[in-house]
Amino acid sequence: MYRILRDLKMNKHRQSSQPSTRKRPEPYVAIGPNQVWSWDITYLPSSVKGSFFYLYMIMDVYSRKAVAYQVYECESGELAGELITDACYREKIPKDQLVLHSDNGAPMKAVTMLAKLQELGVMPSFSHPSVSDDNPYSESLFRTMKYRPEYPEQPFEELKDCREWADGFVHWYNNEHLHSGIRYVTPTDRHQGKDIEILKKRHQVYLKAKAENPKRWSRKTRNWNHIEEVLLNKGKIKKVPSAEVNEAA
């Protein structure tokens, strides 16, 4: 039937109203830390059936560092606003420097949360509705967390247990984890700008190893060039307004 309609050019929307269209979110490019952040909330199981703890996590897209996190017993725009306020204070974020990207969950679009972003001078950005891969950095972070060998097999008994485990994970992720997306340096080192020198030294080590044993190398050494830009969402790149690299860690 659809083939016949297509051949007769009748397989079209024929009503006066037009179907809704969904545009992809604005693409942004980060050339330094504290220009584009991504955040999300994930469930952590509790010992009470049907009840969960909620891990709020804000990460810097450029460095992949978890700049703020907390575990609560509910999803709330007010709690999210408090967390972003604390993160902006600790990272010394001036107004009109930062873009905060998220999905379209209720806490993300809560009136209290949006009002707090306006007060802080933070530009909100939202994913394409009903599409999960428009917030890839936060999704990747949560996947890393839940596939860690240390991720508990049993539910958390109390909120404090959940928070203690989150503390340990974030410390490992920021300060010990050699992140594959940023040339196997830690997020903290990249956030502080130390990755440039680390990658230069690593490149020299590989060149020396190749010179000493050329037969073991059939190709060039691994690419250890510093990643200068990180893109959030594909499309025509939009620079973050007044984006100056904040070197504060």
pLDDT at 31: 95
Place of tokens 């485990």: 165
Could you give the CA distance from residue 192 to residue 63 in angstroms, rounded to a whole number? Answer: 9
pLDDT at 123: 94
Closest CA relative to residue 247, chosen from 33, 98, 23, 56: 33
pLDDT at 15: 65
Residue 23, domain member (yes or no): no
Q: How many domains does the chain have?
A: 1
Residue 184, domain member (yes or no): yes
pTM of this prediction exceeds 0.85: no
Closest CA relative to residue 48, chosen from 159, 128, 169, 183: 159
Tell me which residue range forms the domain holding 122.
28-191+229-239
Could you give the CA distance from residue 206 to residue 224 in angstroms, rounded to a whole number? Answer: 9
Residue 11, domain member (yes or no): no
Residue 10, domain member (yes or no): no
DSSP string, 20-51: P--PPPPPEEESSTTSEEEEEEEEEEBSSTT-
pLDDT at 170: 97
3-state helix, strand, coil in the chain (%, to 5): 35, 20, 45
* Residue-level pLDDT, tens digit, the chain, 249 residues: 888 888 887 777 666 666 556 566 678 999 999 999 999 999 999 999 889 999 999 999 999 999 999 999 999 999 999 999 999 999 999 999 999 999 888 999 999 999 999 999 999 998 876 666 678 899 999 999 999 998 998 999 999 999 999 999 999 999 999 999 999 999 999 999 999 999 999 999 999 999 999 888 888 889 999 999 999 876 555 555 544 444 443
CA atoms within 13 A on the CB side of 227: 20
pLDDT at 45: 92
Residue 196, domain member (yes or no): no
pLDDT at 20: 58
**CATH (domain of 140):** 3.30.420.10
Residue 200, domain member (yes or no): no
pLDDT at 5: 82
Residue 6, domain member (yes or no): no
Residue 207, domain member (yes or no): no
